[in-house]
Amino acid sequence: MKWKFRLRVFSLLASAVLRLVREDPTGFAIKVAERVRTSDSKLLSKVPRNLLSRLSLPPSEARKFIELGELSDGIKLVERQGRSANRSDRHLAQRTRERLQQLTEPIPSSANSGERPTQHRILHVLTNSVPYTHSGYTVRSHNVLKSQRDAGLAVQGVTRLAYPVLVGKLPGSPVQIINGIEYHRLLPKSYPVSLLERDELAVAMIIAQAQYFGASILHTTTDFKNAMVVAKAAQRLGIPWVYEIRGELESTWLSKQPDYLQERAVASEFYRLARRQEAACARAADAVVTLSEIVKRQFVARGVSGEDIHVIPNAIDQRDLNREFDRSAIRAELGLPDISLVGTVTSVVDYEGIDTLIRALLHLPDSVEALIVGDGTARPGLEDLVRELGLDSRVHFVGRKPQEDIWKWYATLDVFVVPRKDLQVCRVVTPIKALMAQALEVPVVASDLPALREVTGGRAEYVPPEDSHSLAAGVRKQLQVPLTNDGDADWLASRTWTANADRYLRLYESL
């Protein structure tokens, strides 16, 4: 039977590649280039990092409108061009029409039967998961599933349609069991042509998996595209669904726009519609989870009942609270110098502000070096910046590391830095990484943003965002007189996945 599954996976991969190249050849080339750059393959890693992006075509006027969030204007431009419009733009216009339909489609109300199950069986519908994607999102998802299972709930994960094939990973079976948690993959024989067909297929496959598992509740996460398919599935199944607000699509999109376009982007059609649709999904859900009080207040202001919103913060493993370790021994094990070491463990993307950390080294003694654990789209530019500033010997990019050993990379630091930029996504999203550092008693220096103050409990050194002088001063202070966690044990204990499992259980009982 394995050969039949492999045939299905290759058939799905071929159809997905054809569809994605047809819809957006430029975007596809850029994504492939990034996959090649971050690949573990020695052969692929030798491919010049900008080769595929150089092969892509410059954006057309219609594409520029659409990338700026003016979807209808981009469509109209293609329509005015008629047959003279190139094939790529015609496909882009059709896909954008379908995106507009997704952005304006009414979210079905819950058809919860009101019957209380004898046992809660929770099907988590996820964007991505371990072992194919390693990020703050997948770390939280996996820990939520493990802690709920340990609390006596029956849980299972199912990932979005065609994942992980869509990110270039070919699974050996439709189910992976990671630390006792089952992850099911929705892998059709071929990838549907239209976005709307994909949504309907995802609904049907989620319903089939929910019925097989005997789910009593569906639980999904942002963005609204997940919520739309889960809302439809839950309505047809007659069971409640929970919407967990993590990063919002429009905020992440906004963070990628250049500074001079921020005001225009906030007023764009896409931003306004996506923001409205997220609120509509939250109002339609039987319950909403936010990771912070900040986000809860925002959604209350957008018309969601505060009684329906449960704050379940990011958290850490209980065992990380009591770890004993020798920092020098860990550095020797990891091949790192035993000097003053500051840094971060993160996705290497622009809004994380790692450029500010690099520039801060110019204002710190030569004996202070920076460690950056992780990878992402911003890494090539940051490596260029390091060379321009002559800091090659003081900045260590070590790439992604296995999750089971990630605590060691935190523990090796004298100061943990969260230098996020002053952007909407950074003001509201509370990262796990600062908590991990605090649990290991590594002092934290963070940008003074509401989300970072909340996630660290006011127990960090806060500095103005995007200010390398202030960041250097904060690091220097913590190297001399580091913060301690004296008296913080109860607060940290309330930020564990075990504590969160109790919060989820109370939420599910309320349904």
Is 164 within a domain?
A: yes
pLDDT in tens, 283-336: 999 999 999 999 999 999 999 999 999 999 999 998 888 789 999 999 999 999
- Same domain, residue pair 11 and 125: no
- Same domain, residue pair 300 and 244: yes
Residues 208, 289: Cα–Cα separation, whole Å: 25
Q: Show which of 104, 137, 159 is a domain's final residue.
A: 104
For the domain that residue 149 is a member of, what is the CATH number? Answer: 3.40.50.2000
- Same domain, residue pair 179 and 297: yes
Find the domain containing 14 and state its range.
2-104
- Same domain, residue pair 130 and 264: yes
- Same domain, residue pair 129 and 96: no
pLDDT band of residue 442 (cuts 50, 70, 90) is very high
- Same domain, residue pair 256 and 343: no
pLDDT in tens, 261-276: 999 999 999 999 999 9
Residues 271, 284: Cα–Cα separation, whole Å: 20
pLDDT at 206 (0 to 100): 98
Backbone phi, psi, residue 145, to 5°: -65, -45
Is 144 within a domain?
A: yes
| CA angle at 369 for the pair 368 and 370, rounded to the nearest 5° | 135
Is 116 within a domain?
A: no
pLDDT in tens, 146-182: 999 999 999 999 999 999 999 989 999 999 999 999 9
Residues 318, 501: Cα–Cα separation, whole Å: 12
Contacts of 128 (CB under 8 A, 6+ apart): 135, 137, 138, 159, 160, 163, 164, 167
- Same domain, residue pair 485 and 443: yes
Residues 506, 310: Cα–Cα separation, whole Å: 10
- Same domain, residue pair 487 and 504: no
Residues 93 and 79: beta-carbon distance below 8 Å: yes
Task: Inform me whether the pLDDT recorded for 117 exceeds 70.
Answer: yes
- Same domain, residue pair 373 and 472: yes
Q: How many CB atoms lie within 10 A of CB 111?
A: 13
pLDDT in tens, 333-367: 999 999 999 999 999 999 999 999 999 999 999 99
- Same domain, residue pair 376 and 442: yes
- Same domain, residue pair 85 and 179: no
Q: Show which of 61, 79, 104 is a domain's final residue.
A: 104
Q: Which residues of 127-137 are buried (b: 16+ CB within 10 A; e: fewer)?
A: bbbbebbbbbb
Q: Where are the beta strands (DSSP E) in 66-174?
A: 121-126, 154-159
Q: How many domains does the chain have?
A: 3
- Same domain, residue pair 346 and 465: yes
Tokens of 129: 């998961």
pLDDT in tens, 443-501: 999 999 999 999 999 999 999 999 999 999 999 999 998 877 665 778 888 999 999 99
Q: Please spell the DSSP secondary structure of 5-18, one letter per residue.
A: HHHHHHHHHHHHHH
